[in-house]
Amino acid sequence: MTLSNLADFDALQLLLLLAQGKRTGVLRVQRPDALFRCWLEEGRVRRVSLQHLRGGLSDRDLEGADALVALLREPSGHFQFDEGVRGSYRPLNSPFDVVAYAALRELPAPELPFPGPARITDAERLARLPLSLHEHQVLDRIAAQVPLSELADDPEAAAVAARLARLGLLRQRRLRTARLLVEVTHEVAGVVLVDAMIVDRWQQDLKRLPQFVGVRDDGGKSYRFPLRGHPEVGALIYIPPDVLTKTRLQVGESVLVKPL
């Protein structure tokens, strides 16, 4: 069987793919100095081991999350997955996510993948993780649509979000963007008016009332304005003169508008 080079793959994503596909077999990663093996049974981890080799003999073994940590620290070698192979198992029968999250805790935190609000992709997978009280509190902030960029002020909270994203349990929440026509208004100063129904939809997406909007013209120039909802505005964005004169926007121009 032809071996594949692990350098061409993301080792963690490869194992996640096998586990989520409910595969049974053993993934072997052979390096000159070590042999990594992960036995799966219908996607659940039965054993993870890494044997450090010296002179062709086993020097010492790592098991469980420690073995996975060692692989992720040095994701190199050649691998193959032997379908259907079963081995002698240690007492382990766990979702792969549990082992992977334990390993990620021991590694430097990944970078946050995006700055905006996130959504949970799989509540069942998330529920299987043995999270601490602090990690649950971070999840509450994520569920409240706090942007990940705000979590960056707390390195521990940012690390939790980054680990969950690394497991594919967080994805960027795509907010609805409205295409509106610029119109001038003298009813207000310092804020722009957007139809209350649009603002309500944004509030449902964000789980909070947006206070600002981003406006981008067709030339790619972007602006940030304080926002107020207003009934029966329709497909217009009303901008008062004191705000409009500080931009290149023109009355009747079509712009893209999204909540911030």
Nearest to 225 by CA among 234, 213, 235: 213
Mean pLDDT value of segment 168-190: 92
Instruction: Find how far residue 7's CA is from the centre of its chain.
Output: 23
Give the pLDDT score at 43.
Answer: 92
Whether the pLDDT of residue 213 is over 70: the answer is yes
% pLDDT > 90, the chain? 77
Let me know: does 175 contact 200? Beta carbons within 8 Å: no
Nearest to 73 by CA among 45, 103, 38, 94: 103
- Quick: pLDDT tens for 49-95: 999 887 554 557 899 999 999 999 999 999 999 999 887 776 688 99
pTM: 0.72
Q: What is the dihedral angle through the alpha carbons of 77, 81, 85, 88, rounded to the nearest 10 degrees?
A: 30
Instruction: Find how far residue 244's CA is from the centre of its chain.
Output: 37
- Quick: pLDDT tens for 96-145: 999 999 999 999 999 999 888 898 999 999 999 999 999 999 999 998 77
Query: Any bridge partners for residue 214, and if so which?
Result: 224, 258
